[in-house]
Structure 1
Amino acid sequence: MTTLPARALEPVEPEPGVLVHPSSDRRLAVEHWLLSTLSEPGRARAQWQEYGAALLPLGTLFSAVRIPARLVVALTASTETSELDDFLDQALEGGPVICDPHHSRYYALVPASMPATWRQAVDDWRTMDIDCLGRDSYLGVPPVSAVECNPATHAPYWSVSMPSAGVLCAPLTVARLIAAGRHQLVEGLDA
């Protein structure tokens, strides 16, 4: 019987590091998370193929704040799609936003509880076509791969992609964006 030298039996120290998930894994996780709002995820995949968006129910995993494009334009003084998308990415600290270019609206995805907890603010926002959509509402959600505006189709796209499953916009950050935009629009009307 042979014996191993003592140093061969010493424990090996793991090297510090960071577990990195490829972007394709994150996109797949986001897709599965979004589709978990449905009892038949296959139907949503078919809608993505046929229409470029799938109707997903709000108020369970997430809700959405509808923001008119004119409010974002007032804050950026730009109508360039890429500049508006970059601005929203920074202003909402990377929180996910869907753009509906056909109706000139953005939808910031927020926690499902926001419509109930922000009831007073939402009532004030409605005068400017801003609304917080929750239970009993549906949102046309593009496939996670739709990350650029297509002027030919005006199909919804991810203005700011969801970085990981379950990562949403902070309600206070969305409220601050809306307050700044409302202020800017009012100033523009006064000028």
Structure 2
Amino acid sequence: MSHPSAIRQPVEPTIVTGGERRLAFEHWLLASAKDMSQAREEWRTYGVALLRLGVRLAAIRISAHLVHAGAGTDDPDAVSAYLERVLLGGPVFVDREVQRYFALVPPSTGRRREWQLARDDAEFIGPGHYLGVPSVDATSPQDGRSFWSVEFESAGALASPGAVKALVDHCRLRAAQQASAQGGS
């Protein structure tokens, strides 16, 4: 028979605020910086910080043209909703100046055969590269040139490589259909 002090008491549920989630994600991202304080200063000054890829995270860079074809729109809110749905909440940011979306994925994604050949419309970027990643507070087009289109669910929760591959395949199909329809009219 168990001793009464060994009986487990019910655990109260913990509520994590959005601010706490952002702070946890910020710390997780900063672990990829060469210099954490410099990265924080870059976020404050420029809105983006250069982070090393290959240890904690990597990215699939996808052309905005392709993503907009798949979403059927270039409206930022509609594109964000589309990406959140098809990538199952995996984090994505957009750099409007270079017209690219960046889905954050595990570094091991680069070992998958489908990502070993670079293409203009979508490619894996990982070890040996740096990426300008927006501040975790940049969550809308009003926040600058680069912002989170799909915010992170939690620190370390990345997009599924399979979901990103399915997204890219679908977007390529939609872009080809649109080009064919425009050519035939």
**Equivalent residues in 2 for 1:107-122, closer than 5 Å:** 107-115=102-110, 117-122=111-116
**Secondary structure of 1:113's partner?**
helix
Q: Which residue of 1 aligns with 2:125?
A: 133
Partner of 1:188: 178
TM-score, structure 1 normalization:
0.86
Aligned to 1:163: 153
Question: What is the aligned length?
Answer: 178
Q: Percent identity?
A: 35
Structure 1 residues 120 and 89 mapped into 2: Cα distance closer, same or farther (>3 Å)? closer
Q: Deviations over 1:106-161 (max 9, x none)?
A: 0000001111x2244441x60x43110001111111111111112xx742111111
- Aligned residue number for residue 65 of structure 2: 70
Change (3 A) 1:32 1:46: same
Alignment of 1:1-191 (within 5 A): 14-15=9-10, 17-115=12-110, 117-123=111-117, 126=119, 128-150=120-142, 154-191=144-181
User: Shift in Å at residue 17 of structure 1?
Assistant: 4.8
Deviation, structure 1 residue 42: 0.3
SS at match of 2:141: coil
Instruction: After TM superposition, give the deviation of residue 14 of structure 1 in Å.
Output: 3.5
Q: What value does the CA root-mean-square deviation take over the aligned residues?
A: 2.0
Partner Cα separation in structure 2 for residue 32 and residue 13 of structure 1:
33
- Taking the aligned partners of 1:67 and 1:170, their CA distance within structure 2 comes to 15
Output the TM-score relative to the length of structure 2.
Answer: 0.88
Task: Measure the CA separation in 1 of the matches of 2:115 and 2:26.
Answer: 31
Q: Which runs of 5+ in 2 are unaligned?
A: none
Q: CA deviation at 1:163?
A: 1.4
Say which SS state the counterpart of residue 188 (structure 1) adopts. Answer: helix
User: Structure 1: how far apart are the matches of 2:55 and 2:18?
Assistant: 26
Alpha carbons of structure 1 residues 41 and 10: separation in structure 2 relative to 1, 3 Å: closer
**Structure 1 gaps, min length 5:** 1-8
Q: Distance in 1 between matches of 2:157 and 2:87?
A: 12
